[in-house]
Amino acid sequence: MNVLILGGTGNLGPFVVNALEPYHTLRVTDVNPPEDTAHEFRYVDMASMTQVVEAAEGMDAIVNCSVLREHRKIAFDVNTLGSYHMMSAAVTHGIKRVINTGPHAILTGPTYDNIDFMLTEEIPPHSGVDLVGGDNPYSISKSLGQEICKVFTENFDVHVMCLLFCGLKNPEHPRFFPGRDVTPFVVSVRDAAEACRLGLAVDLKSLPSKNEVFYITTDIPHGKFSNAKAKRILGFAPNDKFEVVWHKVTDH
C-alpha cells in the first residue's frame, strides 16, 4: 500500500515509519527533514492546502502524525486547517483510509477527565479550551480537526480512524519512576506506532462506522480509560505495560 505520513519526523512519526516500512511504500512529509531516511521525503506544511493535496497524489492511505501544541496561530494552522487539508486531499484523490491521531483530551477534556471513570470512545467530544490551564489551544484545535474529519466521513466515501494517545513514552528513555504511578492513559511510542499499522490492515468493512475513535492506551488497572475497543476491532495488543510504575515499591 502507498502510505502518506504527515508529520513524519516529529515525536511519533519516526516510530510510525519504523512500524510501517516492512509492509508499505512510504512517502514521509514534514516541515523538518529527517536526518536519514530510505523513503521518499517531501517538505509539506500542513497549513498549505496545495502542498498537502499534492503530497497525497497516488497514495492509498494517509497517516496524520502532525501536531503543534503551544503557538496559537500555528496550532490552528496544523491541527485544524491541516485536518481540513488532509480530508480535502483524501477526497480529491479518492483515498478511502485515513488515520488521524491526537491526545485523548480532544474527546475527554476536563469536564470528563476531572470527574468521570469508565470513559468510552462513544461520547460527544468535550475538549475544553485550555488543556493545561492557560493560553494553550492544543486540545480544542485538535478536536476541531477531528470534527472536520467526522464531517467529511458523513459527506464522502472515506473512513477515518482516530487513534487517541496520551503520555507517549519511549521505553528506551523513560521519564518515570517506579512506584510513582502514571497518568491513567499511557502508551509506548512503539505500541502507538503499531496501532497505526493495525489501522492500515483492518478491513474497512469491519468498522462500525466511517468515523471511529480508539483509545490507544496500554493495559493499566486505573479504570478510567479502556483499550477494549482497540483490542476488539484493531487487534491492538500492547507490549509495554509499565507495571513497575503503578505498583508500589517494596524493599523485601
* Residues 127/176, Cβ–Cβ less than 8 Å: no
DSSP letters spanning 69-121: -S-HHHHIIIIIIHHHHHHHHHHHHT--EEEEEEEGGGTB-HHHHTT-SSB-S
Residues 86-105 that bind another protein (CB under 8 A): 87
Q: Which is nearer to another protein, 70 or 219 (CB)?
A: 70
- Return the residue of 21, 34, 93, 156 that touches another protein, per CB under 8 A: 156
Dihedral, 203, 91, 38, 24 alpha carbons, nearest 10: 10
Q: How far apart are CA 14 and CA 189, in angstroms?
A: 10
CA end-to-end distance (rounded Å), the chain: 52
Q: How far apart are CA 23 and CA 118, in angstroms?
A: 35
Q: Which residues contact 51 (CB under 8 A, 6 or more apart)?
A: 42, 43, 44, 45
**Using rule CB under 8 A, residue 152 touches another protein:** yes
**Of 237, 229, 121, 239, which Cα lies nearest the Cα of 188?**
239
- Return the residue of 129, 132, 204, 228 that touches another protein, per CB under 8 A: 129
**Using rule CB under 8 A, residue 76 touches another protein:** yes
* Residues 143/125, Cβ–Cβ less than 8 Å: yes
| Binding residues with another protein: total (CB under 8 A) | 30
Shortest Cβ 122–another protein spacing (Å)? 15
- Return the residue of 56, 81, 86, 164 that touches another protein, per CB under 8 A: 81
**Using rule CB under 8 A, residue 176 touches another protein:** no
- Return the residue of 14, 103, 128, 184 that touches another protein, per CB under 8 A: 128
Q: Which is nearer to another protein, 84 or 242 (CB)?
A: 84
Q: Which is nearer to another protein, 153 or 226 (CB)?
A: 153
In terms of Cβ atoms closer than 10 Å to its own Cβ (0-12, 13-18, 19+), residue 55 is buried
* Residues 245/182, Cβ–Cβ less than 8 Å: yes
Which segment (21-29, 56-64, 136-144, 220-228) binds another protein by CB under 8 A? 136-144
**Using rule CB under 8 A, residue 109 touches another protein:** yes
**Using rule CB under 8 A, residue 201 touches another protein:** no
Which segment (152-160, 179-187, 213-221, 225-233) binds another protein by CB under 8 A? 152-160
Q: Which residue has the cell 510501517?
A: 20
Binding flags for another protein, 10-49, as an x/- string (CB under 8 A):
---------------------------------------x
Enter the C-alpha cell of residue 164. 487517541
Q: Which is nearer to another protein, 151 or 201 (CB)?
A: 151
Residues that bind another protein (CB under 8 A): 49, 72-73, 76-77, 80-81, 84, 87, 109-111, 126-130, 135, 137, 140-141, 143-144, 147-148, 151-152, 154-156
